[in-house]
Amino acid sequence: MSRKSSYVRIGLTVFFTVCAILLFYDTLFGSRTAIIFGQQFIKALQPVLFGALIAYLLAPIVNFFEEKLFSGHLIRIRSQGKLSSRRVRAVSLLLTWMIVCAAGYLLASFLLPELYKSVVQLISSAESYYMTVRGWVERLLESNPQVEAWVTSQLNIYYEDIQLWLTREVLPQATTLMTALSGGIVTAMNFLLDLLVGVMVSIYLLATKERCAAYCRKAVYGLCSRSGAGWVLRAMKKVDEIFSGFVRGKLLDSLIIGILCFICCSIFGFPYTPLVSVIVGVTNVIPFFGPFLGAIPSIFLILLVSPLQALYFALFVLALQQLDGNVIGPLILGDKTGISSLWVIIAILVGGSFFGVAGMFFGVPVCACMLSAVNFVVESRLRRREMPVETEAYSTLRQSGQVKAPPEQTQGQENGGKQP
């Protein structure tokens, strides 16, 4: 049996090695057939992946309803050796999708039309805003005619580019989106079909999530050895903890920030309230740099209407970000990633340079997973060598090259125990 397993591992290793070599050669010297095939394959599976993402995000809501409303029934069911109850799962799914549908209805009936009006108003007022900015520049540079002429020429160039971009790109796309949402465009059928398939896939995955998880564990134990399967399952659990905590927490945090921004901007009467709230909420998903990326264009938009309101909005955003950084964020996210601010900045810069905004968002949990794997390997090797795993133990080195173990570890070794 062990010889057969070794043959299977050797065969899989050779197969994946040959595939990697062919893929590398085709990418550099070939017609990139593998990349085109991979893109088409991912596009075909896009509804399924979309449904899996929906199920991953909605799973905590389903678990919340089951634990809060049917805790006693679930205890009796699990005492009988069953994973869940179909009736309990059906009711939890129904409540979850009622919440999702209600949120979608509010978004489509209230926020999107207001957002569309803000975009149209911004485009229609672009010329007057341009004249306002030009007047500011002329008043600031009237003492230096040469610099004034250069700045004015640059503003004319940028104004033409921005005007073309707004009229040819932003406005048609916004009009198409609103028309598609109103149900009058045939091209929206593909999106609706993908959405329908994604919803069906998500319902199936949520209804059978325990069985799907059990099948995945079965596959891991079937393809790997017992010790290797334990490693894989621990790694998957750690990755799930990092991603679920960060992604779900950050999305919830950004949603709360966007809603608070919309409510407060409506109370204070700031212009472009829907557009500004969406910008602040969406950019807030980007760690560290997100608040600045959202605040700068929002302040500039309000500045074009009223400099005094722009000042008030800047103070409001500063207070909102302080509330998010000190209260809302720690309450929702905590320390899900377990990495320092330096690694967060590195992850955002590297992820953004390769994959844009998505890379800036997912770069942090990916970096946290990689650092967790490295720390696990390092600490495992140190334990095998009977060396301390605490970083503080390596702050001072003895002349002999040995590290000084912490007092609690030294006492444990004297008693015959080992560091866990």
More confident position, 131 or 400:
131
Provide φ and ψ at 292, rounded to 5°: -70, -40
Q: Is the pLDDT of residue 28 over 70?
A: no
Interhelix angle 171-181/188-207, nearest 10 degrees: 60
d(CA 311, CA 80) in angstroms, rounded, equals 63
Q: For residue 73, what is the DSSP state?
A: H
Q: How far is CA 405 from CA 102, 396, 399, 408, in A?
A: 58, 10, 15, 8
All residues at 6 or more sequence positions from 333 whose CB lies less than 8 Å from its CB, including other chains: 245, 246, 249, 250, 253
Q: How far is CA 57 from CA 99, 106, 182, 200, in A?
A: 13, 19, 27, 15
d(CA 237, CA 184) in angstroms, rounded, equals 45
Question: Is the Cβ–Cβ distance between 107 and 125 less than 8 Å?
Answer: no
| Helix (DSSP H) and strand (DSSP E) numbers for the chain | 19, 0
**What distance lies between CA 419 and its chain's CA centroid?**
36
397, β-bridge pairs: 403
Average pLDDT in the 206-210 region? 87
Average pLDDT in the 339-345 region? 80
d(CA 3, CA 9) in angstroms, rounded, equals 10
Q: Give me the chain's average pLDDT, please.
A: 77
Q: Quick one: what percent of the chain has pLDDT higher than 70? A: 75
Average pLDDT in the 384-410 region? 64
Q: What tokens does 384 get? A: 């095998």
Q: Quick one: what percent of the chain has pLDDT higher than 90? A: 2
pLDDT band at 397 (very low <50, low <70, confident <90, very high): low
Please tell me the predicted confidence (pLDDT) of residue 399: 47
Q: For residue 394, what is the DSSP state?
A: G
Task: Report domain extents, the chain.
Answer: 1-31, 45-223, 225-387
What stretches of 124-279 adopt beta strand conformation (E)?
none
Number of neighbours of residue 373 by Cβ within 10 angstroms: 13
pLDDT per position as a tens digit, 134-164: 777 667 666 666 666 776 677 677 766 776 7
CA nearest neighbour of 118 among 306, 342, 317, 274: 274
Number of neighbours of residue 283 by Cβ within 10 angstroms: 23
Provide φ and ψ at 245, rounded to 5°: -65, -40
d(CA 157, CA 150) in angstroms, rounded, equals 11
More confident position, 418 or 332:
332
pLDDT per position as a tens digit, 70-127: 777 777 776 776 666 778 888 889 999 999 888 888 877 777 777 777 777 777 777 7
d(CA 270, CA 70) in angstroms, rounded, equals 45
CA nearest neighbour of 70 among 40, 91, 54: 91
All residues at 6 or more sequence positions from 316 whose CB lies less than 8 Å from its CB, including other chains: 264, 265, 268
403, β-bridge pairs: 397
Q: What tokens does 69 get? A: 């409303």
d(CA 209, CA 54) in angstroms, rounded, equals 13
Please tell me the predicted confidence (pLDDT) of residue 83: 65
- Is 116 in a helix, a strand, or coil? helix
- Is 127 in a helix, a strand, or coil? helix
